[in-house]
């Protein structure tokens, strides 16, 4: 446990961290990568380049300081971080590396504000948090290894099929090279790929499983991340997978992880509303496939937004589901449609997904809401659903990228 004196000292630094948080975390990452370059494999180069990783850590440190007197508030965040760490195979021996560089950065950046007392308090707080995370991560590792078909570490998978879903998204169908069974996973979870990079190192990325559990393969559907400008580079791993990986190739894969998934235990007759934008359809499609198979009596509404049918993945798969399942309603929202995007056989409209559209399509708002997509989409929906009167425990979301505040009282899952 942390001493009461250290708790008070850490909490007293919260205003300073809010002011200097990003300066501190930029310094920290630069310092750590220089002194321990081997840990760079655990981090996304693009997120580092555009600063989202630095902002994410700054927000996390500030939240820890602010809520250190009531750690129950941070329980969901700790579980989220532990799942992320477990997906990347973070080990106890990595924590001293992070701790040494983070504490040194606090001293170097905060200067006179980081007195010996404050420094020692943060060291105590960091050790306490490390222990919480290490224990939770060990639970996840053991659960993944001990379940039927499970494993620990990375396992070789063969690409058995590569299918183009749109101009930007391609699906990879994966089976274990050892031909042994696959574990059950929860619809909405993700796996980790470890991929060699052109510089001779390996790096890791999380990708949502885009099909239902219980099949003899995993499917991931990956968007090619193109360079937007000099500050936002192309995605290294997504382009390697699109251009270099083909059928029969072998990929290293970690077991399914993540705490964003369809909660079947809490189903009490409510409708299921699935909302997706862009590549955010991938975990939502896994949930949709599972729900239509296992809850045929449940009302399901899918609202999917993208620019147009050129970049729209899974159109034929979704339409096939809607023909089979009478309880499923689908609406497409196109922000930049082409002339042939509309036909009389589908429900669709022009614009971006917003609360006005949702309220017009949902007759019974007391439902469970699951959504995933870009940050503006997430922010709009989360705030809009709360303002509409949807209870927080009926709102479930996942954000691609490092954890960033969508709203101060957000309790969804961001990765």
| 190 touches 258 (CB < 8 A) | yes
3-state SS, residue 242: helix
CA distances in angstroms from 347 to 176, 304, 331, 342, 361, listed in the order given: 39, 11, 5, 8, 10
**Residue among 306, 388, 283 nearest 352 (CA):** 306
Residue 69 DSSP code: T
Instruction: Give the active site residue among 66, 124, 137, 398.
Output: 137
In the residue annotation, 177 being an active-site residue is answered as no
Structural tokens at position 388: 């509409």
**Residue among 287, 271, 381, 277 nearest 327 (CA):** 271
Query: For residues 287 and 270, what is the distance between their CA atoms, to the nearest angstrom?
Result: 15
Query: For residues 53 and 77, what is the distance between their CA atoms, to the nearest angstrom?
Result: 16
Query: For residues 407 and 415, what is the distance between their CA atoms, to the nearest angstrom?
Result: 15
Instruction: Give the active site residue among 95, 141, 304, 369.
Output: 95
∠ CA 230-236-240, nearest 5°, is 135
Query: For residues 168 and 313, what is the distance between their CA atoms, to the nearest angstrom?
Result: 8
Helix 14-35 / helix 52-66 crossing angle, nearest 10 deg: 130
In the residue annotation, 64 being an active-site residue is answered as no
Catalytically active residues are 95, 137
């Amino acid at each position: 446990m942390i001493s009461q004196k250290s708790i008070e000292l850490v909490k007293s630094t919260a205003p300073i961290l809010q002011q200097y948080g990003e300066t501190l975390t930029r310094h920290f990452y630069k310092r750590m990568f220089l002194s321990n370059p081997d840990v760079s494999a655990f981090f996304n180069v693009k997120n580092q380049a555009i600063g989202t990783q630095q902002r994410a850590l700054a927000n996390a440190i500030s939240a820890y300081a602010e809520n250190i007197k009531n750690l129950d508030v941070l329980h969901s965040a700790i579980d989220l971080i532990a799942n992320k760490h477990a997906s990347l195979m973070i080990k106890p021996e990595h924590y001293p590396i992070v701790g040494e560089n983070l504490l040194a950065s606090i001293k170097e950046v905060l200067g006179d504000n980081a007195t010996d007392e404050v420094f020692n308090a943060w060291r105590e707080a960091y050790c306490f948090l490390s222990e919480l995370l290490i224990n939770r991560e060990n639970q996840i590792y053991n659960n993944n290894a001990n379940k039927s078909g499970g494993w620990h570490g990375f396992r070789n998978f063969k690409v058995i099929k590569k299918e183009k879903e749109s101009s930007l998204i391609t699906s990879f169908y994966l089976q274990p090279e050892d031909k042994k069974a696959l574990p059950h996973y929860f619809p909405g979870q993700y796996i980790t790929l470890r991929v060699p990079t052109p510089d001779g190192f390996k790096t890791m990325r999380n990708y949502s499983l885009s099909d239902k559990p219980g099949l003899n393969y995993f499917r991931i559907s990956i968007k090619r991340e193109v360079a937007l400008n000099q500050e936002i580079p192309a995605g290294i791993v997504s382009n390697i997978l699109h251009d270099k990986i083909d059928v029969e190739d072998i990929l290293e894969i970690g077991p399914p992880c993540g705490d964003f998934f369809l909660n079947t235990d809490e189903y009490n007759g409510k409708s299921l509303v699935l909302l997706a934008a862009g590549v955010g359809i991938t975990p939502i499609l896994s949930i949709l496939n599972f729900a239509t198979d296992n809850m045929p009596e449940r009302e399901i509404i899918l609202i999917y937004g993208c620019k147009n049918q050129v970049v729209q993945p899974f159109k034929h798969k979704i339409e096939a589901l809607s023909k089979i399942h009478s309880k499923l309603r689908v609406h497409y929202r196109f922000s930049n449609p082409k002339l042939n995007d509309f036909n009389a056989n589908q429900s669709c409209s022009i614009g971006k997904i917003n609360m006005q559209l949702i309220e017009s399509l949902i007759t019974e708002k007391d439902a469970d809401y699951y959504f995933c997509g870009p940050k503006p989409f997430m922010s709009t929906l989360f705030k809009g659903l709360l303002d509409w009167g949807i209870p927080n425990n009926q709102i479930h979301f996942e954000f691609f990228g490092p954890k960033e505040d969508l709203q101060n009282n957000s309790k969804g899952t961001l990765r």
